[in-house]
Amino acid sequence: MTRYALFGCLAAGGCAADLISKTLVFQWRGMPREDNVYWLWEGYVGIETALNNGALFGLGQGGSQYFAALSVVAAIGICVWLFRFGAAHDRFLTIALGCVMGGVLGNLYDRLGLWSPPAGAAQEHYTGVRDWILWRYGKWTWPNFNIADCLLVCGAFCLVCQALMVKDVGDGDSNESSKV
């Protein structure tokens, strides 16, 4: 039961952190516009609002409904893997899936257009994911991202690490030295 609580806390807490941060930043900085950068570390790390109607790195622009459907499928798949197929028995896997679920839910909320634009903005129905973290190095600028994206990347990294971990699944009789 504690693994389910761990998963739930990570997913709900991650989603809440993402949605609260997006709401606060968009209220503070407004909708995306030119010269809307607030530098935390001049030229390197800043806050700039952006809307992404696509997926990773802005690929698939205009496909919000398609990506929303994929998010729902991913959320269902995570729950089935965790609760039906026993992934919750592994703490590391539970943490990874909790992070991924938090990211999926945070961005799904935006893709479904459940958020309201800040006061003073056109009261349209927006279905883009709200991004606000800006990272630059010299002339190279990383596409804006948010806390949900960080959760997705960290969770996916943990899943890859889990998949690459060497596990001894021998039956005890396959010891090469005993065959000599």
Average pLDDT over residues 50-57: 83
Structure-model confidence comparison of residues 89 and 99, the more confident one = 99
> 3-state SS string over the chain?
CHHHHHHHHHHHHHHHHHHHHHHHHHHHHCCCCCCCCEEEECCCEEEEEEEECCCHHHCCCCCHHHHHHHHHHHHHHHHHHHHHCCHHHCHHHHHHHHHHHHHHHHHHHHHCCCCCCCCCCCCCCCCCEEEEEEEEECCEEEEEECHHHHHHHHHHHHHHHHHHCCCCCCCCCCCHHHHC
* Domain extent listing, the chain: 2-31+62-130+148-161
In DSSP terms, which residues pair with 141 in a beta bridge? 136
Residue 175 pLDDT > 70: no
Residue 176 pLDDT > 60: no
C-alpha distances in Å from residue 2, one per residue of 19, 88, 154, 162? 25, 9, 22, 20
Residue 62 pLDDT > 80: no
pTM of the complete model: 0.86
Residue 25 pLDDT > 90: yes
* pLDDT in the model for residue 6: 96
Tokens of 36: 């809307």
Residue 8 pLDDT > 90: yes
* pLDDT in the model for residue 166: 61
Which amino acid does the sequence have at 32?
P
pLDDT, the chain, mean: 89
* pLDDT in the model for residue 172: 47
Nearest C-alpha neighbor of 35 from the set 129, 134, 142, 128: 134
Cite the active site residues.
Answer: 131, 149
